Structure 1
Amino acid sequence: MIYIYNDYGGTHTTALAAAYHLKKLPTDRKLTKEEILNVNYFNKLTSSDMGKIIFQGTDMDGNSVYTIGRKSSKLVVPALKNLSLLLQDKYKVHEKIIFSNTSPTVPFAMTIGGFLSRGLKIDFIGVPLLVFGAKQCCNDIIRLVEHTKQVGKSTNAKVIILENKEFK
């Protein structure tokens, strides 16, 4: 199975979701500032990284975990779904692919922090807001990751798109 966490920038909630999925972060408490800032790719991607599918690791069940920043395009994930189905059919690949949208977990502080840090390069204000936002949403991200894994295990569809609107 292949898991692809996606959102606007691909560098905050997607990075956290991948880290939780891969058991790189504790789930029994709020994260520290250091833990958040040390997550792979957290607040590190730039506009030139948008649209790149970034390998984050392999989970305990041997599944690959990726992230992607899609900006505001509503076409990226459907296009990737269609491409995935085409490749699965043409090359007889039977690997299930789950696209999971982490955007519904993004709190306002993270939106503003991401804009200030990534967009305007004002890290001294943006990064503290990102850390505050990450602490706010970590429980929602944990639940989203568990939901994503459960859907992956319980459905037979070849390609699944999870919008995750219930996490707003």
Structure 2
Amino acid sequence: MIYIYNDYGGTHTTSMAAAYHLKKLPTDRKLTKEEILNIDYFNKLTQSDMGKIIFHGEDEDGNSVYTIGRKSSKLVVPALKNLSILLQDKCKVHEKIIFSNTSPTVPFAMTMGGFLSRELKIDFIGVPLLVIGAKQCCHDILRLVEHTKQIGKSTNTKVIVLENKRFK
């Protein structure tokens, strides 16, 4: 199975989701500033990374975990879904693929922090806001990951797109 977490920038909630999925983060408490800032790819991607599918690792069941930043395009995930189905049919690939949207977990502080840090390069304001936002949404992201994994294990559909809802 292949899991691909996606959102606007692909560097904050998606990186957190991948880290939770791969059991790289504690699940019994809010994250610390150091834990947040040490998440692979957290606040490190640039404009040139948008649209790249980034491998984060394999989970305990041998499933691959990826992330992608799709910007504001509503076409990226449907195009990837259609390409995945095409490759599965034509190349006889039998790997289930789950696209999971992490955007519903993004709090306002993270939106502003990401804009200030990634777009305007004002890290001294943006990074603290990102940390506040990450602390606010860490439990929501964990629930989203658990939901994503449960759907992946419980359905036989070849390609699944989870738009997800707010996890509050």
The equivalent residue for 1:160 is 160
The equivalent residue for 1:39 is 39
**SS state at 1:99 partner:** strand
**SS state at 1:81 partner:** helix
Distance (Å, rounded) in 2 between the aligned partners of 1:166 and 1:133: 15
The equivalent residue for 1:132 is 132
Matched, 1:50 2:45: no
Fraction of identical pairs, as percent: 89
**SS state at 2:27 partner:** coil
Number of residues paired by the alignment?
Answer: 168
Note the C-alpha offset of 1:167: 2.5
What TM-score results when the alignment is normalised by the length of structure 2? 0.99
Matched, 1:18 2:18: yes
What TM-score results when the alignment is normalised by the length of structure 1? 0.99
**SS state at 1:167 partner:** coil
Instruction: Report the AA paired with residue 87 of structure 2.
Output: L
**SS state at 1:65 partner:** strand
The equivalent residue for 2:114 is 114
**SS state at 2:133 partner:** helix
Distance (Å, rounded) in 1 between the aligned partners of 2:167 and 2:138: 12
The equivalent residue for 2:144 is 144
Instruction: Report the AA paired with residue 110 of structure 2.
Output: M
* Root-mean-square deviation over aligned CA pairs: 0.6
Unmatched 5+ residue regions in structure 1? none
